Chains A and B, each alone.
Chain A
Amino acid sequence: MYRGVWAALTRCFKVPQQAPNLPTVEGGMHRSFHPSPRFLSYLKLYFWVAITLINLALIGAWVMLYLGNPFWAWVLSVPLIGLMVIPDLIVYLALHLRYDTMWYVMTDQSLRCRRGIWTIVEHTITFENVQNVDVHRGPLQYFFGISTIVVETAGATVGEGQNEFAVGNKAILEGIANPKEIRGLIMERVRRSRSGGLGDDETIWGGEQERWSREDLRLLEEIRDELCSEKSL
Chain B
Amino acid sequence: MMIKSEAEAAAAVGGEEAFDPRTITRPDESLLTYYLLVSACSLILFPIVFVPLFIRYKTLKYRFDSKGVSMSWGLLFHTEVYLTYRRVQDIHVTRNIVERWLGLAKVPIQTASGTSGATMEIVGVREAEALRDFLYTRMRGARSDESGEKATLGSKPEGTLLLQQIRDALRESRSREGSQA
Contact = CB atoms under 8 A, between A and B. Distances in A.
B144 A25 contact: yes
Interface stretch (B24-32, B47-55, B57-65, B115-123): B115-123
B contacts with A: majority SS: mixed
Nearest to A126: B141
A215 B141 CA distance: 24
Interface residues of B, number: 54
A200 B174 CA distance: 46
A167 B108 contact: yes
B15 interface: no
Interface stretch (B5-13, B33-41, B74-82, B146-154): B146-154
B72 interface: no
Interface in A161-188: 162, 166-169, 171
Q: DSSP majority for the A interface?
A: loop
Interface in B127-167: 132-133, 136-137, 139-144, 146-149, 151-152, 156-160, 163-164, 166-167
A129 B93 contact: no
Contact of B100 (A14, A160, A169, A219): A14
Interface residues of A, number: 63
10 contacts: A121-B93, A124-B93, A126-B140, A126-B142, A153-B112, A156-B110, A158-B117, A199-B112, A213-B151, A216-B163
Interface of A: 13-14, 23, 25, 28, 108-110, 116, 118-129, 153-160, 162, 166-169, 171, 189, 192-195, 197-202, 208-216, 219-220, 222-223, 226-227, 229-230
Interface of B: 84, 86-97, 100-101, 108, 110-119, 132-133, 136-137, 139-144, 146-149, 151-152, 156-160, 163-164, 166-167, 170-171, 174
